[in-house]
Structure 1
Amino acid sequence: MIGPWKNPRSKVYWFRRRVPAKYRMFGMPAEIKFSLNTTDLEEAKILCQEENLKLERQWRASLPGEQPTQLTHLQITALAGEFYKETVAARRDEPGTPAEVERSLREHEKRKRPPIGPLDPHLFVTFGPEAKAFLQRKGIHLVGDRLHSFLRSYVEAKELAGLELLQNAKKDYTPNEELAKRFPEYKPPNPAKKFDVLWAEFVKAKDLAASTKKKWEPYFRQLIKRIGTDDMSCVTEQHLLDWRDALLASKTSRRNVKFGYIAAARAFFRWAKVEKKLPANPGAEVFVTISEKKKIKKGGFNDREAHTILAAALGPQNERMTEENAAARRWVPWICAYTGARVNEITQLRACDVIEEEGIPCVHIRPEAGTVKTAEERTVPLHPHLLQMGFVAWAHLKKGEAPLFYAVERQRKKDRKNPTYTSVGNKLADWVRNRLRIKNPKVAPNHAWRYRFKQIGLDFDMKERVLDAIQGHAPRTEGEKYGKPKPAAMLREILKHPWYEIEAPASPVDRRRRGQKTLKDQVAAV
């Protein structure tokens, strides 16, 4: 039996309990403790039991099983109204004597008042079984604060039903219009409009990339928590506007709110409206403005930055790195420099993606290996410098679908929610920023190669349509969708790219152990 703990300093009793292991999977701490705000032992014992009961209910509601029904405050009030109407209708013909009804009302008034402590645990213990029986008949499963909210409405509705039955018992059957208006019409939640159902359909219909799904889904979970329901038909424009304003008032950047949270909501609700899944699109007129003055225009690496990275890539790597991470540092910057590809398009390459087409060594970038922004595969010829450095020979040391820059057997997670090739790309970005000290805010470490390749292509008169095809940019006109440049045509343009003349450093740029600071870092910290 859980008992209160007396704080030796304040003499106030506290609730303390270790969290069972089966509940810690939900991110709970090993122990929960808080003040009961009383120095009276008997009161503390009662409060302790009530709080323990409350915790048990919350924990059990978190265990896998029946999914709780998400109802709004309006729906909960309407549901209590259904109980009120059913109670009155069941006893309207024979309400009993006035004395019996009055006695029942007095008993109800006595039952609903807690002898001590908070109201919600008392209502749960006193009225919980009968309220849950009513909910079960309606096919509703409420937990947590939604259940507490319904219990309060249920107790009030029960009292109102008793008052009307007392009126009937006194031979007065005048319709009570005020009470009739008090409760809104109850509309049962439609399972087909629940977020999980619609989200699964949306992801499938739009063929969302794993990275986009991983990024967007938490946005909607936050919205659901905010409005108190996962019934998407209940989401209004005002809900989204309030959510947007709250995000802007927080530390979230305006750009992230616009292109992250609101973009996800607008795309989802637009699809749901077009596909007749929802009656309206609440996000149609929800916008976020961004001042152009604050926008930093991104660009490519300059010559010094490019040479710094490529030289470090040629040099010996940290001996503590895995073979695959060392290979990523060695080859990915060079491949990006000569192809203008996205970093993650290269980090996801497999041995079978290094091919020869029409006698030309190429890399085959395709969605099956991971993700491609345009969802279209493309074949990109390799610059002669990459061939001279031995990239093709190195890549063919692996066979079949073996990844070139990460090891499948060392993956922490086998699912696609957090692809390993993305982690490899992030490590490269960190290397460029924090090890090679390229801090230019106008340069995105993993995207600057695309800008640089495009600029070099324009400087050396590469054909723009072929240049776009090499980099995987979408056709700019309807006419450009007809026909694609072949590898031979691409190679003619790639050959215009000048060779990088770079010497490898004699020693590794990063020799320290993981987490160890450089001398420069240590001096700066003093």
Structure 2
Amino acid sequence: MALAMTRPQKHPSSGYYWFRKRVPDDLRSLIGKREEHFSLGTRDPGEAKRLHALKLAEVEERWANLRLGQRQLSPDDIARLASEIGEQLRRRLEADPYQPLRWDVEVGARLWIASDTHDVYTDITQALSPADWKQLEQQNICYALVDEHVIGRGITPRPEDRERLVRAASIQVQRIIQAHEAYLLGKQDISSGGWEPSKPRTPAAPLTFEAVILGWLVEKKPNEKTEYSWRRVMTELSEFVGHDDARRVSADDLVSWKADLLAKGRAAKTIRDSKLAPARAIFQWAVDNRKLNTNPAARINIDLKSRSTEKRRGYTDEEAKLVLRAARTSKEAHKRWVPWVCAYTGARIAEICQLRSEDIKQIDGIWCIAFAAEAGSLKNVNSERVVPIHSALREEGFLKFSASIKKGPLFVDLAPDRFGSRGGTGTKVLSRWIRSLGVTDKRISPNHSWRHRLKTLGRRNGLAVDILDAMTGHGRKTVADTYGEFPPEAMLRELSKIPPLDS
């Protein structure tokens, strides 16, 4: 019987919520069980939902690491894992400050016992002094902490990387223990026999999110909409972590933020593309410009599982007819013409909404629509292109309509959005209008599904693939595709293979 894996499960007797998730078939032999299940330790449904999201992220990260098998750890991996081990130890000591410790601060400050591998330590024990014995015991503690941590994360390091990680972890452990001893003993004069803690280093000055964003803006020069949306993402992250110091943001912070977004019901694709990707890019700029040592978001991702019920599709003939018939009767220019242009060009909605009368022109005697950067922002370099006007558009009267606009935007009835884009306004207005016509299938994106439809029609009617890609503004797939031009007569020849829809 399949288990519900999307929410915490309430135990019928105790009332405590539990985490339950079926182990994938390919990992059962490694994990040794069919299901991950454990108590979340709370009866509060809100807290259970939050904890469930955090644990789900941890479990899926461990499974992803197990699938990778034994792998090489980079210097950044070593540093990150050692820091995590130190942080876990610090939290344990905070929870029970007076627990007995099997660690000698003075002995721990000595050099690591020389040996090629940990396995040969048993061969030299007879020659060890009491201090060396203490040192060896502390090294064993580091090995235990490292093995516990990597097993919990599903990581299988190479032997040499395990050694490097143990040595890095020992430095972190020593630092935590020294700080803890200083806390317990207080500042005592060294002549009294007490331990005098070393003076703390002056912490690095905060690196504010705003400073990083400003540097990124100067170099990358994004458009106004991207700047606005990415600033919002960094503001959300700042509010979640409780500060705006980029140097204090850790990978654990990003994992927790991702889990929080999942718990709030955000779509995985939105989290990946609209939250994690901007944060990763901005932090990477700081790393590339020597302002941060590591990118805390570098390895934070989210698994997207495509479901057939969620996969975007194109309009069917009947759905396309429904929209185009409604458009034909509309008195508003954008509702009247934008769906028709979408249907026979496969262009993006924003590209069409920002068209100007001067973008409708004859090239080599063929009436075309020129999608140009002068009209407004385009998605990428391939988006600047020319597409011939299909016979169905000419017969519908699109040329007559465009000629009626002497100069400037074709769709003046669309007010520009806050970024000066008619496309942003048109996307929202037309999407709501098409949904109101009865196109309610969630697999249909009211505006973007026209592009899917044109690709389907292209395959159905045998259009040349490279020309179809050029018309829709998709990237060239091979180096050969980048050679030469796409003449209007060649594009019209292929576009004419798509028959007019009997609407």
Query: Scaled by the length of structure 2, what TM-score is found?
Result: 0.58
Equivalent pair of 1:469/1:484 in contact (CA under 8 Å): no
Equivalent pair of 1:258/1:287 in contact (CA under 8 Å): yes
* Match of residue 211 from structure 1: 225
1:207: Cα distance to partner? 4.1
* Match of residue 444 from structure 2: 443
* Match of residue 379 from structure 1: 386
The structure 2 residue matched to 1:431, chosen from 423, 430, 433, is: 433
Cα shift readout 1:396-441 (whole Å, capped 9, x = no counterpart):
32234x2211358x5574x44xx3321112111111112x111112
The structure 1 residue matched to 2:404, chosen from 384, 390, 397, is: 397
The structure 2 residue matched to 1:247, chosen from 238, 261, 265, is: 261
1:350: Cα distance to partner? 1.5
1:184: Cα distance to partner? 4.2
* Match of residue 334 from structure 2: 328
1:346: Cα distance to partner? 0.3
Counterpart Cα distance in 2 of 1:186 and 1:487: 66
Change (3 A) 1:424 1:217: same
> Residue 362 of structure 1: SS of its match in structure 2?
strand
1:485: Cα distance to partner? 1.0
Name stretches of at least 5 consecutive residues in structure 2 with no aligned partner.
1-182
> Residue 371 of structure 1: SS of its match in structure 2?
coil
* Match of residue 113 from structure 1: none
Change (3 A) 1:204 1:404: farther
Equivalent pair of 2:317/2:501 in contact (CA under 8 Å): no
List structure 1 runs of 4+ shifted beyond 4 angstroms: 172-181, 410-413
1:214: Cα distance to partner? 3.0
Cα shift readout 1:61-102 (whole Å, capped 9, x = no counterpart):
xxxxxxxxxxxxxxxxxxxxxxxxxxxxxxxxxxxxxxxxxx
Change (3 A) 1:186 1:213: same
1:501: Cα distance to partner? 2.4
* Match of residue 216 from structure 2: 202
Equivalent pair of 1:300/1:451 in contact (CA under 8 Å): yes
Change (3 A) 1:329 1:316: closer
Paired residue total? 319
1:361: Cα distance to partner? 1.2
Counterpart Cα distance in 2 of 1:267 and 1:252: 21
Counterpart Cα distance in 2 of 1:407 and 1:307: 24
* Match of residue 186 from structure 1: 202
Name stretches of at least 5 consecutive residues in structure 1 with no aligned partner.
1-159, 318-325, 503-526
Please provide the CA RMSD for this pair.
2.8
Cα shift readout 1:179-238 (whole Å, capped 9, x = no counterpart):
856x84333525xx4322322332453443433333332111011122233232322212
> Residue 396 of structure 1: SS of its match in structure 2?
helix
Task: Report 1:123-202 matches (<5 A).
Answer: 184-189=200-205, 193-202=207-216
Change (3 A) 1:266 1:173: closer
* Match of residue 279 from structure 1: 293
Q: Does 1:461 align with 2:462?
A: yes
Counterpart Cα distance in 1 of 2:196 and 2:403: 79
Counterpart Cα distance in 2 of 1:256 and 1:425: 18
* Match of residue 273 from structure 2: 259
Task: Report 1:75-154 matches (<5 A).
Answer: none
Cα shift readout 1:245-292 (whole Å, capped 9, x = no counterpart):
221222222222122211222222233323434221111211211333
Cα shift readout 1:322-346 (whole Å, capped 9, x = no counterpart):
xxxx101111111111101111110
Counterpart Cα distance in 2 of 1:176 and 1:199: 51
Greater radius of gyration (CA): 1
> Residue 467 of structure 1: SS of its match in structure 2?
helix
1:173: Cα distance to partner? 9.2
Q: Does 1:495 align with 2:501?
A: no
> Residue 431 of structure 1: SS of its match in structure 2?
helix
Counterpart Cα distance in 2 of 1:200 and 1:300: 40
* Corresponding letter in the other structure for 1:256: T
Equivalent pair of 1:301/1:449 in contact (CA under 8 Å): yes
The structure 1 residue matched to 2:306, chosen from 289, 292, 299, is: 292
Cα shift readout 1:477-509 (whole Å, capped 9, x = no counterpart):
12212223121211111111111222xxxxxxx
Equivalent pair of 1:454/1:467 in contact (CA under 8 Å): yes
Equivalent pair of 1:350/1:404 in contact (CA under 8 Å): yes
* Match of residue 230 from structure 1: 244
1:177: Cα distance to partner? 7.8
* Match of residue 475 from structure 2: 474
Counterpart Cα distance in 2 of 1:175 and 1:375: 73
The structure 2 residue matched to 1:355, chosen from 361, 365, 376, is: 361
Change (3 A) 1:291 1:501: closer
Change (3 A) 1:484 1:276: farther
Change (3 A) 1:295 1:213: farther
Equivalent pair of 1:367/1:375 in contact (CA under 8 Å): no
1:178: Cα distance to partner? 6.9
Counterpart Cα distance in 2 of 1:201 and 1:222: 19
Q: Does 1:306 align with 2:320?
A: yes
Structure 1 stretch displaced more, 421-430 or 272-281: 272-281
Counterpart Cα distance in 2 of 1:230 and 1:261: 16
> Residue 361 of structure 1: SS of its match in structure 2?
strand
Counterpart Cα distance in 2 of 1:470 and 1:412: 27
